[in-house]
């Protein structure tokens, strides 16, 4: 019998520089932090939060998005692993506002595209990870 899942619990992205990635994700999305190692953490806290690997986990409603620093390398959606990560927005007007926000931050993006069943806005994070905002019709 198939395993009946109802949602994605979390996704963790590997990044080269956690400070750069945190600045990007904080400025673009402003998600609340679910878990991060405090700068002044004692040894017991560091051990308890070792699953973070020096990264951060954001709360985006029913799901969590984590960032984990790994060192070097660049993202390539043409390799096995991940093509892109897409986030839902309610409507086309929200995509238009998101494009304006990205413009204000100086973040390059594609024009909003009508793909038939939805509108999408594509852009990339500092590690070239392909991100997408989507609004269903």
pLDDT tens profile 9-53: 999 999 999 999 999 999 999 999 999 988 899 999 999 999 999
Q: Is the pLDDT of residue 63 over 80?
A: yes
One domain for residues 6 and 62: yes
What are 98-112's pLDDT values in tens digits?
999 999 999 999 999
Per-residue pLDDT, averaged over 113-119, amounts to: 98
In this structure, the answer to whether residues 90 and 128 fall within a common structural domain is: yes
Statement to judge: residues 92 and 58 lie in one domain: no
Domain around 112: 82-137
Q: Are residues 90 and 37 in the same domain?
A: no
DSSP 116: S
Q: Is residue 117 pLDDT above 80, yes or no?
A: yes
Which pLDDT value is given to residue 31? 97
Q: Radius of gyration (Cα) for the chain, nearest Å?
A: 16
Does residue 68 share a domain with residue 19? Answer: yes
The pTM assigned to this predicted structure is 0.92
Cα separation, 99 vs 119, in Å, equals 12
First to last CA, the chain: 33
pLDDT (0 to 100) of residue 19: 95
| CATH code, 130 | 3.10.180.10
Nearest-angstrom CA–CA distance, 44 and 25: 28
Instruction: Write the DSSP assignment of 35-95 as a string of letters.
Output: EE--TT--HHHHHHTGGGTT-EEEEETTEEEEEEE--S----TTSSS-S-EEEE-SSHHHH
């Amino acid at each position: 019998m198939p395993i009946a899942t109802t949602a994605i619990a979390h996704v963790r992205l590997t990044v080269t520089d956690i400070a750069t990635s945190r600045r990007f994700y904080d400025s673009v999305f402003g998600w609340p932090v679910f878990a991060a190692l405090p700068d002044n953490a004692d040894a017991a806290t560091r051990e308890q939060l070792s699953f973070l690997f020096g990264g951060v986990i954001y709360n985006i409603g029913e799901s969590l998005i984590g960032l984990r620093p790994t060192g070097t390398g660049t993202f390539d959606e043409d390799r096995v692993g991940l093509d892109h990560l897409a986030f839902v927005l309610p409507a086309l007007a929200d995509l238009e506002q998101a494009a304006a926000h990205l413009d204000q931050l100086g973040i390059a993006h594609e024009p909003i595209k009508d793909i038939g069943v939805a509108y999408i806005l594509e852009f990339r994070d500092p590690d070239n990870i392909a991100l997408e905002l989507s609004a269903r019709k």
